[in-house]
């Protein structure tokens, strides 16, 4: 990375200069990714803009993830935790809005137009506390997120389910004219080399894992599989982490169960806003809800592919006590 032209980058010329100095790849033959700050960044200009301008507040909450690990689900859960006293469950705004509308992504919604970020959305639409999503790896977060007392909840998922979910998601895109489903092995190879949106997968996960060990009050590390296995316990831990714990009366009254049900994939799939419409111009909301299962990768990946990435992971994670 050319470090002399990163943090203070402002002009189009400097951006072009930076881009031409970085390794780059076309994901799905269509979407440029730049290897920036040890990550295959698919939204470089917006990343730099929010790094330069975004000011985190101590009360902010961030939902961080590499794409396809359960971001949409976690957003719906966190939204419901904070708003459970503002609306009866039958009027939960999740029944009318896609979770990404209620909890926007920092770099791809607020800073989607890097020259003219949508700060109004940031200030107006979000109830206190401000809750935002981000796919940036920990080393690329705006400094104020790292240095303030805001909290980060990171969700990760088995890499094979993550890859398959992403693979099927990108096959939906109109622009994707050249990639066919029999090319999965080639694309899995890229995943193993880290060439994956916001990858390498293992670096993204490990960065937040280490931070969660060093600053456990700031970063909470969650697994998609634990949420599937025991959503109630995970919801209680989430509530405590964001200082919005469930009381024993609430638990007895079934408030946690109601939220789990409200945020289930079956329920969210029925919502009209999730069946049609788009929060991002290039993504149909319905693509965010597929199966939501653990282990669906067995239907797509062969043992050689699995073995290859397991080797990558075991080398990377050795000594850190992280198992996926």
Q: Is 196 in the site for ligand A3P (CB under 6 A)?
A: no
96 or 291: CB nearest ligand A3P: 291
Active site residues: 135
Near ligand A3P in 52-81, by CB under 6 A: 65, 67-73
As measured in angstroms, the least distance from the Cβ of 46 to ligand A3P is 18
Query: Does residue 163 touch ligand A3P according to CB under 6 A?
Result: no
Q: Which stretch binds ligand A3P (CB under 6 A): 123-131, 141-149, 177-185, 288-296?
A: 288-296
Q: Does 158 bind ligand A3P (CB under 6 A)?
A: no
Nearest Cα to Cα of residue 162 among 301, 317, 311? 301
User: 253-272: which residues touch ligand A3P (CB under 6 A)?
Assistant: 263-265, 268
Which part of the chain contacts ligand A3P (CB under 6 A), choosing from 1-9, 112-120, 140-148, 282-290? 282-290
The CB-of-288 to ligand A3P minimum distance in angstroms stands at 5
- Work out the angle at residue 31's Cα, subtended by the Cα atoms of residues 30 and 32, and round it to the nearest 5 degrees: 120
Tokens encoding 182: 């029999």
Q: Which residue has the tokens 């800073």?
A: 111
Backbone angles phi, psi at 18, to 5 degrees: -65, -50
Structure tokens at 26: 């076309």
Contact window for ligand A3P (CB under 6 A) among 84-92, 198-206, 284-292, 310-318: 284-292
Per rule CB under 6 A, is residue 37 in the interface with ligand A3P?
A: no
Does position 137 bind ligand A3P by CB under 6 A?
Answer: no
Q: Give the number of residues written for the chain.
A: 324
**Strand, coil or helix: 203:** helix
Sign of the CA dihedral 182, 185, 187, 191? positive
Nearest by Cα to 135 from 158, 118, 112: 112
Alpha carbons 80 and 270: distance in angstroms, whole number: 17
Residues forming the site for ligand A3P (CB under 6 A): 65, 67-73, 161, 165, 263-265, 268, 288-292, 296
């Amino acid at each position: 990375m050319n470090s002399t032209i990163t943090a203070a980058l402002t002009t189009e010329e400097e951006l072009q200069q930076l881009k031409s100095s970085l390794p780059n790849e076309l994901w799905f033959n269509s979407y440029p990714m730049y290897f920036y700050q040890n990550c295959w960044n698919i939204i470089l200009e917006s990343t730099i803009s929010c790094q330069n301008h975004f000011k985190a507040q101590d009360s902010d909450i961030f939902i961080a993830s590499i794409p396809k690990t359960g971001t949409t689900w976690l957003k719906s859960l966190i939204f419901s935790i904070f708003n459970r006293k503002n609306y009866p469950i039958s009027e939960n705004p999740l029944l009318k809005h896609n979770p990404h509308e209620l909890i926007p992504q920092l770099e791809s919604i607020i800073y989607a137009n890097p020259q003219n970020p949508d700060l109004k959305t940031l200030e107006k639409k979000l109830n206190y506390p401000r809750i935002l999503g981000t796919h940036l790896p920990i080393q690329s977060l705006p400094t104020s997120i790292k240095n303030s007392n805001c909290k980060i909840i990171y969700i990760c998922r088995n890499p094979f389910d993550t890859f398959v979910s992403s693979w099927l998601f990108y096959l939906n895109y109109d622009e994707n004219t050249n990639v066919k489903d029999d090319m999965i092995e080639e694309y899995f190879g890229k995943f193993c080399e880290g060439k994956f949106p916001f990858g390498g997968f293992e670096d993204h996960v490990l960065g937040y894992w280490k931070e969660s060990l060093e600053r456990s009050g700031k970063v909470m590390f969650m697994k998609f599989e634990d949420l599937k296995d025991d959503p109630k316990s995970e919801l209680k831990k989430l509530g405590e982490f964001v200082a919005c714990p469930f009381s024993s009366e609430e638990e007895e009254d079934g408030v946690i169960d109601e939220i789990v049900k409200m945020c289930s994939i079956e329920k969210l799939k029925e919502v009209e806003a999730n069946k049609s419409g788009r929060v991002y111009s290039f993504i149909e909301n319905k693509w965010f809800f597929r199966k939501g299962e653990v282990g669906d990768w067995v239907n797509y990946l062969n043992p050689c592919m699995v073995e290859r990435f397991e080797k990558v992971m075991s080398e990377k994670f050795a000594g850190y006590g992280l198992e996926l």
